[in-house]
Amino acid sequence: MGLWYKNSLKKRLIIYFMATIVIMSAMNIFPYYSISVLMNKMSSTFEMNVELNQLNKTLEKLNYAYESYLTTKHSKSLDDYYRYSNELWKEASEIHIDNSSMDNILIMKDIKNMISNYLDEMDEAVKARRARMVDDYLYHYQESVKIRQYIVEYIQKLNNNMFFQNTDRYMSVSKSIRIMETMNIGLLSVIFVLSIVLILWFTYRITKPIFELSKAADEITHGNFNVPSVKVNSNDEIGIMAEAFNRMTESIRQYINEINEKVGLERKLQEKEMENLIIRTNLREAELHALQAQINPHFLFNTLNAGAQLAMMEGADRACSFIENAAELFRYNMRNLDKPVTIGDEIRNVENYMHLLNERFADKIEFTMYKEESILERKIPCMILQPIVENAFIHGISDVEYPGRISLRAELQDGFAVISIKDNGKGMSAEKIQEIIKRDMGDKPDFKGRHEGHTNGIGMNNILSRLKIFYSRDEIMEIFSEPGQGTEVVLHIPIES
């Protein structure tokens, strides 16, 4: 209903154009209807002329067949005679004169009666001719000739009447058309003048406030938000738009002032956040350095003690190898954790670690390894594989009574460097696996809480968090385990990233 509210500009435009369309449609429909009626009458008259001409032709064909039979008595002529007789009567019966002229109706009635008499006289002449009754034949033949002449005269008379009737109708149509043309020209002139006046008035009413609005909008686009309110003295859509524009301008001014106030606050907050970021960065660096310095004294003592015993019992060569591997392991532990290494570096660190374990627990641990050369140069965060192997030893096979086995397998599969670390130890429950894998990455990495005998403080949560951040992937680690069935940790390292 909003279309028809009071003083609606759209309402006024629609009423004006609808009125114009109705008037012009009436101007076109009325003469069209009048001319259509007259043309239908003329068409029916012309059709009557055609039917009368066809009747006259059939009459000639019948007369020819009639006289041909009377002259030659040929059977074909007799067949034509009967055929044309039926056609003549049928055509005469189908002709109907409209009620506009009583004289034409009477003439058509006389024609039908004469055709009936004409057919009777011809039949009698044909019968007399076949019976060789010459006097009867001549009499009926002469009568048929007279009747035929009358029929032709009446048909001609009716055609002439129709022609004059069509002429009168044509003159009437021409006169009506001229009157309609005059009326149309006058009415079109009035509508044309009225349309120009209304167009000029509507254009002025619409464009004047729009011009004021566009001028104010241009000022706003150039940064001047203190433009005066646009005054429009109308209650139509233009007035509503002007009021909305004024409200919008006021809202923009208030919004700009609020933004200017917030900018100062945000600048102070950014400065504060920058200070906090510097503090967090320094804290992170301190944690990394503290992590690098966390070498378990108990492990270091046991390792060096074993090296001393080997030196006394077996001589300097084996002790030298043991100490070199220990030194290499400690040296790798002291690297910066924020700098990536290669998979090959990580595997060598695992080999050093397993060499030390094999020297300490020669009869308890079996270590196997398979690696593909194509993935050894792929970058990986530092201290990833050795903590996993160490967890497999400490939490998996250190307390079992049977010989423990640890295997490491690194190979290329479907565009990933797949690294598997598997043991035959105690295993773990599904709940424990889900706790390790799905732990929130926002948790602080577990640098503390080391198990006695760990070479460093890096737990599985720290490893998984650093892998996800480094590769920007969540599906980076899988853990397969059951209590009593051992544990397998599988890393999926993307080759292309």
Mean pLDDT of 133-139: 85
Q: Which helix (H) or strand (E) holds 404?
A: strand 404-413
Mean pLDDT of 319-338: 65
Residue 303 pLDDT greater than 60, yes or no: yes
Q: How many CB atoms lie within 10 A of CB 454?
A: 19
Residue 340 DSSP class: -
Whole-angstrom Cα distance, residue 352 to residue 455? 12
Name the pairing type of β-strands 365-371 and 477-481: unpaired
What is the pLDDT, as a whole number, of residue 447? 40
* Token reading at 139: 């009499």
SS3 of residue 375 by DSSP: helix
CATH class assigned to 295-494: alpha beta
Second CATH level (architecture) for the domain 2-200: Up-down Bundle (1.20)
Q: What is the pLDDT of residues 42-63, one digit of tens each?
A: 676 677 778 888 888 888 888 8
What is the pLDDT, as a whole number, of residue 234? 66
Whole-angstrom Cα distance, residue 255 to residue 373? 64
Q: Where in the chain is the domain with CATH 1.20.1440.210?
A: 2-200
Mean pLDDT of 87-98: 82
pLDDT band at residue 96 using 50, 70 and 90 as cut-offs: confident
Torsion angles phi and psi, residue 164, rounded to 5: -65, -35
Whole-angstrom Cα distance, residue 113 to residue 292? 136
pLDDT band at residue 181 using 50, 70 and 90 as cut-offs: confident
Which residues, 6 or more positions from 194, have their beta carbon under 8 angstroms from its beta carbon? none
Q: Where in the chain is the domain with CATH 3.30.565.10?
A: 295-494
Mean pLDDT of 135-162: 87
Handedness of CA 465, 470, 472, 475 (dihedral sign): negative
Q: How far apart are the two ends of the chain, measured CA to CA in Å?
A: 61
Average pLDDT along the chain? 78
Which residues, 6 or more positions from 77, have their beta carbon under 8 angstroms from its beta carbon? 65, 68, 69
Contact 407, 369 (CB under 8 A): yes
pLDDT band at residue 493 using 50, 70 and 90 as cut-offs: very high
Question: What pTM was computed for the model?
Answer: 0.41
Instruction: Please provide the DSSP assignment of 51-118 as one string.
Output: HHHHHHHHHHHHHHHHHHHHHH--HHHHHHHHHHHHHHHHHHHH----TT-HHHHHHHHHHHHHHHHH
Contact 360, 303 (CB under 8 A): yes
Asked which of 100-109, 137-146, 207-216, 379-388 is least confident by mean pLDDT, the reply is 207-216
Residue 376 pLDDT greater than 80, yes or no: yes
Whole-angstrom Cα distance, residue 334 to residue 200? 90
pLDDT band at residue 300 using 50, 70 and 90 as cut-offs: low
Contact 392, 367 (CB under 8 A): no
What is the pLDDT, as a whole number, of residue 304? 61
Mean pLDDT of 248-257: 78
**Rounded to 5°, angle at Cα 151 from 86 and 40:** 80
